[in-house]
A = this chain, B = another copy of it.
């Protein structure tokens, strides 16, 4: 199992350029080229203190599942689906470790966290079987699938999944991509201001990661770096402005984000 990260370095020479590499024993082993296709070691290594983590990949979209855990399905009183139910979070919703979750301009309602496992696609992927799907999974990351909850059912005729979940900074992923995660024996733990709010076993998932990749690859071609957010389970809740939210998965790490402290104004861009 390896841990891939992306980062910037603020030294004059690197000038904020985004690099990537492996995290090993608290050191960063720099690579170059394409993370998903035979990246090469540069020979440079860094201390963690020298870098700032960014999102570990740059998805063209985040495919986010709804109702994919037995426990949440039972609580909602809604049967598990016959096919993964998903919405699309646009590329512009992306946020990385440490990034601020920004309250949408003009929205003063609840902003909700959803800690989730994220599948990172490694190769262009269309109509693959469950057996083939493993070849197309690069690894796993933590996701906070943030939602402007009060917009979801604002219109009685059309649930606004893409709008409520698509705002800039509402697709938090990171801190790293773990290859070869033993997800069956792992929990998703979400804390809000240090208090545990979610702690659910990934073994309770309805569609397994490989089933999701296979099924969704029949709905659209998936691209390298795309993320499938596997859906959340019990314990979803809202975050006050200024809150700190952390999603942890053993083997991947902890994704930490903060909700913006003040209401953005109409003048803010």
B-binding residues in A (CB < 8 A): 60-61, 66-67, 78-79, 81-83, 85-88, 90-93, 104-106, 126-127, 154-155, 157-163, 166-168, 218-223, 266, 268-269
The answer on a CB contact under 8 Å between A218 and B105 is yes
- Among the listed B85, B155, B159, which residue makes an inter-chain contact with A81, where contact means beta carbons less than 8 Å apart? B155
Closest to A88 in B: B88
Tell me what chain A mostly uses at the interface: helix, strand, loop, or mixed. loop
The answer on a CB contact under 8 Å between B162 and A87 is yes
18 CB contacts below 8 A, A to B, read A60-B90, A60-B91, A61-B90, A81-B158, A82-B154, A85-B157, A87-B87, A87-B88, A88-B90, A88-B166, A93-B220, A104-B218, A104-B219, A105-B127, A105-B218, A159-B159, A161-B162, A166-B220
The answer on a CB contact under 8 Å between B163 and A219 is yes
A40 to B60, CA, bound (A): 29
A86 to B165, CA, bound (A): 12
Closest to A159 in B: B159
The answer on a CB contact under 8 Å between A218 and B106 is yes
Q: How many copies does the complex hold?
A: 2
Complex interface: chain B residues within 8 A of A79 (CB): 157
- Among the listed B82, B157, B160, which residue makes an inter-chain contact with A78, where contact means beta carbons less than 8 Å apart? B157
Question: Do A158 and B221 form a contact, CB below 8 Å, given A90-B60, A91-B60, A127-B268?
Answer: no
Question: Do A86 and B162 form a contact, CB below 8 Å, given A92-B220, A105-B218?
Answer: yes
The answer on a CB contact under 8 Å between A223 and B88 is no
Complex interface: chain B residues within 8 A of A78 (CB): 157
A218 to B92, CA, bound (A): 12
The answer on a CB contact under 8 Å between B167 and A90 is no
Question: Do A220 and B269 form a contact, CB below 8 Å, given A157-B81, A158-B85?
Answer: no
A242 to B54, CA, bound (A): 47
A158 to B86, CA, bound (A): 9
Complex interface: chain B residues within 8 A of A91 (CB): 60-61, 223
Closest to A87 in B: B162
Complex interface: chain B residues within 8 A of A220 (CB): 90, 92-93, 166-168
Closest to A81 in B: B155
The answer on a CB contact under 8 Å between B223 and A92 is yes
